[in-house]
Amino acid sequence: MHKMIAFAICLLIASGAPARAAEIKMLSANGAKLIVTDLASEFERTTDNQVVLGYGEAGDLRKRIEGGEAFDVVLLPGIQLLDASGKVAADSVVKIAHSDLGLGMRSNVPRPDTSTAEGLKRLLLDAKTIVYTDPRTGGAAGIEFVKILDQLGIADEINKKSKLVSGIHNAELVAKGEADIAVQLSHEILAVPGIQFVALPSQFRTSVLFSAGVAVHSKQPGASRALTQFLMSPDASAVIKAKGMQPD
Protein backbone atom coordinates (compact mmCIF):
# COMPACT_ATOMS: atom_id res chain seq x y z
CA MET A 1 0.00 0.00 0.00
CA HIS A 2 2.78 2.44 0.94
CA LYS A 3 4.54 1.71 -2.37
CA MET A 4 1.33 2.46 -4.29
CA ILE A 5 0.89 5.84 -2.51
CA ALA A 6 4.51 6.78 -3.15
CA PHE A 7 4.12 5.85 -6.82
CA ALA A 8 0.98 8.01 -7.11
CA ILE A 9 2.80 11.01 -5.59
CA CYS A 10 5.66 10.56 -8.06
CA LEU A 11 3.21 10.53 -10.94
CA LEU A 12 1.56 13.71 -9.65
CA ILE A 13 4.90 15.52 -9.46
CA ALA A 14 6.01 14.26 -12.84
CA SER A 15 2.78 15.41 -14.46
CA GLY A 16 3.52 19.01 -13.57
CA ALA A 17 0.29 19.40 -11.60
CA PRO A 18 -0.28 23.01 -10.51
CA ALA A 19 0.60 24.10 -6.99
CA ARG A 20 -2.15 24.63 -4.46
CA ALA A 21 -4.06 27.88 -4.98
CA ALA A 22 -2.89 30.82 -2.90
CA GLU A 23 -4.91 32.26 -0.02
CA ILE A 24 -4.69 36.04 0.02
CA LYS A 25 -5.73 38.03 3.09
CA MET A 26 -7.11 41.37 1.96
CA LEU A 27 -8.12 44.20 4.28
CA SER A 28 -10.39 46.93 2.92
CA ALA A 29 -11.88 50.14 4.21
CA ASN A 30 -15.67 50.01 4.54
CA GLY A 31 -15.93 52.77 1.95
CA ALA A 32 -14.80 50.36 -0.78
CA LYS A 33 -16.80 47.34 0.42
CA LEU A 34 -19.36 47.64 -2.39
CA ILE A 35 -16.71 47.03 -5.05
CA VAL A 36 -14.28 44.80 -3.17
CA THR A 37 -16.70 41.94 -2.56
CA ASP A 38 -17.52 41.56 -6.27
CA LEU A 39 -13.95 42.16 -7.43
CA ALA A 40 -12.58 39.51 -5.09
CA SER A 41 -15.14 37.00 -6.34
CA GLU A 42 -14.22 37.69 -9.96
CA PHE A 43 -10.50 37.36 -9.21
CA GLU A 44 -11.13 34.03 -7.49
CA ARG A 45 -13.15 32.80 -10.45
CA THR A 46 -10.45 33.61 -12.98
CA THR A 47 -7.40 32.49 -10.98
CA ASP A 48 -8.60 29.81 -8.54
CA ASN A 49 -6.87 31.74 -5.76
CA GLN A 50 -8.85 32.51 -2.62
CA VAL A 51 -9.30 36.02 -1.19
CA VAL A 52 -10.11 36.22 2.51
CA LEU A 53 -11.70 39.61 3.13
CA GLY A 54 -11.68 41.76 6.24
CA TYR A 55 -13.35 45.17 6.56
CA GLY A 56 -13.20 48.15 8.89
CA GLU A 57 -13.11 51.92 9.00
CA ALA A 58 -9.88 53.27 7.52
CA GLY A 59 -8.36 54.57 10.74
CA ASP A 60 -9.15 51.38 12.64
CA LEU A 61 -7.53 49.29 9.90
CA ARG A 62 -4.40 51.44 9.97
CA LYS A 63 -4.10 50.89 13.72
CA ARG A 64 -4.52 47.14 13.32
CA ILE A 65 -1.89 46.95 10.59
CA GLU A 66 0.58 49.22 12.34
CA GLY A 67 -0.02 47.13 15.45
CA GLY A 68 1.26 44.07 13.65
CA GLU A 69 -1.78 42.36 12.12
CA ALA A 70 -0.74 40.17 9.20
CA PHE A 71 -2.19 40.83 5.74
CA ASP A 72 -1.31 40.44 2.09
CA VAL A 73 -3.21 43.27 0.37
CA VAL A 74 -4.80 46.41 1.79
CA LEU A 75 -7.18 48.88 0.13
CA LEU A 76 -7.52 52.25 1.86
CA PRO A 77 -7.83 55.96 1.27
CA GLY A 78 -4.54 57.67 2.06
CA ILE A 79 -2.50 54.48 1.74
CA GLN A 80 0.63 56.61 1.71
CA LEU A 81 0.40 56.67 5.51
CA LEU A 82 0.95 52.92 5.59
CA ASP A 83 3.63 53.23 2.95
CA ALA A 84 5.52 55.65 5.21
CA SER A 85 5.28 53.24 8.13
CA GLY A 86 7.01 50.51 6.16
CA LYS A 87 4.09 48.07 6.16
CA VAL A 88 3.29 48.33 2.42
CA ALA A 89 5.77 47.82 -0.41
CA ALA A 90 6.20 51.26 -1.99
CA ASP A 91 6.45 49.88 -5.53
CA SER A 92 3.19 47.96 -5.16
CA VAL A 93 0.82 50.88 -4.49
CA VAL A 94 -1.80 51.41 -7.22
CA LYS A 95 -4.78 53.75 -7.53
CA ILE A 96 -8.09 51.90 -7.83
CA ALA A 97 -11.19 54.14 -7.62
CA HIS A 98 -12.63 57.34 -6.22
CA SER A 99 -15.98 58.62 -5.01
CA ASP A 100 -17.34 62.05 -4.05
CA LEU A 101 -18.46 63.14 -0.61
CA GLY A 102 -22.01 64.43 -0.40
CA LEU A 103 -25.42 64.28 1.27
CA GLY A 104 -28.16 61.68 1.10
CA MET A 105 -31.82 62.70 1.38
CA ARG A 106 -35.12 60.99 0.63
CA SER A 107 -35.92 60.99 -3.09
CA ASN A 108 -39.43 62.39 -2.49
CA VAL A 109 -38.00 65.52 -0.87
CA PRO A 110 -37.40 68.52 -3.18
CA ARG A 111 -33.71 68.77 -4.02
CA PRO A 112 -32.23 71.59 -1.92
CA ASP A 113 -30.01 74.33 -3.31
CA THR A 114 -26.52 73.52 -2.05
CA SER A 115 -24.66 75.46 -4.71
CA THR A 116 -23.36 77.91 -2.10
CA ALA A 117 -21.86 77.63 1.35
CA GLU A 118 -24.78 79.60 2.76
CA GLY A 119 -27.29 77.22 1.18
CA LEU A 120 -25.50 74.20 2.67
CA LYS A 121 -25.27 75.88 6.07
CA ARG A 122 -28.99 76.65 6.09
CA LEU A 123 -29.87 73.09 5.05
CA LEU A 124 -27.76 71.53 7.81
CA LEU A 125 -29.07 73.88 10.48
CA ASP A 126 -32.71 73.24 9.47
CA ALA A 127 -32.34 69.44 9.62
CA LYS A 128 -33.60 67.73 12.76
CA THR A 129 -31.13 64.84 12.65
CA ILE A 130 -27.94 64.24 10.66
CA VAL A 131 -26.02 60.97 10.48
CA TYR A 132 -22.36 60.70 9.54
CA THR A 133 -19.43 58.34 10.04
CA ASP A 134 -17.69 58.72 13.38
CA PRO A 135 -14.41 60.53 12.59
CA ARG A 136 -12.75 58.78 15.54
CA THR A 137 -12.77 55.57 13.47
CA GLY A 138 -10.71 57.27 10.78
CA GLY A 139 -13.48 57.00 8.19
CA ALA A 140 -12.62 59.44 5.40
CA ALA A 141 -16.19 60.77 4.97
CA GLY A 142 -16.53 61.60 8.66
CA ILE A 143 -13.16 63.33 8.83
CA GLU A 144 -13.90 65.46 5.78
CA PHE A 145 -17.38 66.41 7.02
CA VAL A 146 -15.93 67.65 10.32
CA LYS A 147 -13.60 69.93 8.36
CA ILE A 148 -16.59 71.35 6.47
CA LEU A 149 -18.52 72.00 9.69
CA ASP A 150 -15.51 73.83 11.12
CA GLN A 151 -15.24 75.99 8.00
CA LEU A 152 -18.96 76.80 8.18
CA GLY A 153 -18.65 77.59 11.88
CA ILE A 154 -21.57 75.35 12.90
CA ALA A 155 -19.83 72.29 14.37
CA ASP A 156 -21.35 72.66 17.83
CA GLU A 157 -24.93 73.10 16.57
CA ILE A 158 -24.71 70.14 14.16
CA ASN A 159 -23.04 67.74 16.57
CA LYS A 160 -25.81 68.25 19.12
CA LYS A 161 -28.27 66.65 16.69
CA SER A 162 -26.02 64.15 14.92
CA LYS A 163 -25.79 60.37 15.05
CA LEU A 164 -22.26 59.03 14.70
CA VAL A 165 -22.06 55.56 13.14
CA SER A 166 -19.63 53.21 11.43
CA GLY A 167 -19.71 50.19 9.14
CA ILE A 168 -23.14 50.90 7.60
CA HIS A 169 -24.73 52.78 4.74
CA ASN A 170 -25.62 55.95 6.59
CA ALA A 171 -28.50 56.72 4.24
CA GLU A 172 -30.31 53.63 5.54
CA LEU A 173 -31.21 55.70 8.63
CA VAL A 174 -32.69 58.35 6.34
CA ALA A 175 -34.71 55.71 4.48
CA LYS A 176 -36.03 54.46 7.83
CA GLY A 177 -37.02 57.96 8.92
CA GLU A 178 -34.44 58.10 11.71
CA ALA A 179 -32.51 61.00 10.16
CA ASP A 180 -33.08 63.79 7.64
CA ILE A 181 -29.61 63.87 6.10
CA ALA A 182 -26.85 61.30 5.71
CA VAL A 183 -23.28 62.27 4.95
CA GLN A 184 -21.18 59.70 3.07
CA LEU A 185 -19.60 58.93 -0.29
CA SER A 186 -21.86 59.08 -3.35
CA HIS A 187 -21.77 55.37 -4.23
CA GLU A 188 -22.73 54.40 -0.68
CA ILE A 189 -25.60 56.89 -0.63
CA LEU A 190 -26.99 55.79 -3.99
CA ALA A 191 -26.82 52.13 -2.94
CA VAL A 192 -29.82 52.76 -0.66
CA PRO A 193 -33.21 52.65 -2.44
CA GLY A 194 -35.32 55.78 -2.21
CA ILE A 195 -32.35 58.08 -1.56
CA GLN A 196 -31.03 60.90 -3.74
CA PHE A 197 -27.47 62.25 -3.76
CA VAL A 198 -27.04 65.96 -3.08
CA ALA A 199 -23.71 67.47 -4.11
CA LEU A 200 -21.75 69.87 -1.92
CA PRO A 201 -20.83 73.44 -2.96
CA SER A 202 -17.79 73.58 -5.22
CA GLN A 203 -15.47 74.83 -2.47
CA PHE A 204 -16.28 71.82 -0.30
CA ARG A 205 -16.30 69.08 -2.93
CA THR A 206 -13.99 66.26 -1.97
CA SER A 207 -13.19 63.11 -3.91
CA VAL A 208 -11.86 60.24 -1.81
CA LEU A 209 -9.32 58.09 -3.64
CA PHE A 210 -8.89 54.43 -2.69
CA SER A 211 -5.55 52.78 -3.37
CA ALA A 212 -4.28 49.23 -2.89
CA GLY A 213 -0.89 47.88 -1.93
CA VAL A 214 0.89 44.64 -1.04
CA ALA A 215 2.32 43.99 2.40
CA VAL A 216 6.10 44.05 2.68
CA HIS A 217 5.92 40.72 4.48
CA SER A 218 3.13 39.15 2.43
CA LYS A 219 3.11 35.35 2.52
CA GLN A 220 1.77 35.36 -1.06
CA PRO A 221 3.65 38.22 -2.80
CA GLY A 222 3.16 36.96 -6.36
CA ALA A 223 -0.55 36.25 -6.04
CA SER A 224 -1.06 39.46 -4.07
CA ARG A 225 0.52 41.59 -6.78
CA ALA A 226 -1.58 39.76 -9.35
CA LEU A 227 -4.66 40.79 -7.35
CA THR A 228 -3.70 44.47 -7.26
CA GLN A 229 -3.04 44.41 -11.01
CA PHE A 230 -6.43 42.81 -11.57
CA LEU A 231 -8.03 45.67 -9.63
CA MET A 232 -6.86 48.01 -12.41
CA SER A 233 -8.01 45.82 -15.30
CA PRO A 234 -10.86 46.63 -17.73
CA ASP A 235 -12.98 43.90 -16.14
CA ALA A 236 -12.49 45.48 -12.72
CA SER A 237 -13.29 48.94 -14.11
CA ALA A 238 -16.64 47.68 -15.34
CA VAL A 239 -17.51 46.44 -11.85
CA ILE A 240 -16.33 49.69 -10.25
CA LYS A 241 -18.50 51.80 -12.55
CA ALA A 242 -21.52 49.54 -12.02
CA LYS A 243 -21.23 50.17 -8.27
CA GLY A 244 -21.22 53.95 -8.70
CA MET A 245 -17.51 54.63 -8.27
CA GLN A 246 -15.03 55.92 -10.83
CA PRO A 247 -11.91 53.88 -11.71
CA ASP A 248 -8.52 55.62 -11.65
The whole-angstrom distance between residue 23's C-alpha and the CA centroid of its chain comes to 21
Helix 234-242 × helix 33-47 angle, to 10°: 150
Q: What is the dihedral of CA 179, 58, 60, 64, to 10 degrees?
A: 160
Domain harbouring 239, CATH code: 3.40.190.10
pLDDT for position 1: 40
**203 and 104 belong to one structural domain:** yes
| Mean pLDDT across 56-64 | 93
Q: Which domain holds residue 220?
A: 2-97+209-247
pLDDT, one tens digit per residue, over 13-50 is: 333 444 568 999 999 999 999 999 999 999 999 998 99
Please tell me the distance from the alpha carbon of residue 242 to that of residue 4, in angstroms, as a whole number: 53
Q: How many Cβ atoms sit within 10 Å of the Cβ of residue 45?
A: 9
> Which contiguous run of DSSP H or E holds residue 21?
none
Into how many domains does the chain fold? 2
Question: Are residue 115 and residue 183 in the same domain, yes or no?
Answer: yes
Residue 7 has pLDDT above 70, yes or no: no
One domain, residues 8 and 92 = yes
Question: Which of 78, 104, 72 has the alpha carbon at shortest distance from 219?
Answer: 72
Name the strand (E) or helix (H) holding 81: helix 80-85
Q: Is the pLDDT confidence value at 151 over 60?
A: yes
For 127, counting Cβ atoms within 10 Å of its Cβ (0-12 exposed, 13-18 middle, 19+ buried), the class is middle
Q: Quick check: 2 pLDDT over 80?
A: no
Q: Are residues 181 and 215 in the same domain?
A: no
Which of 5-9, 13-17, 69-73 bottoms out in mean pLDDT, i.e. has the lowest? Answer: 5-9
Q: Are residues 74 and 120 in the same domain?
A: no
Is 111 found in the same domain as 197? yes
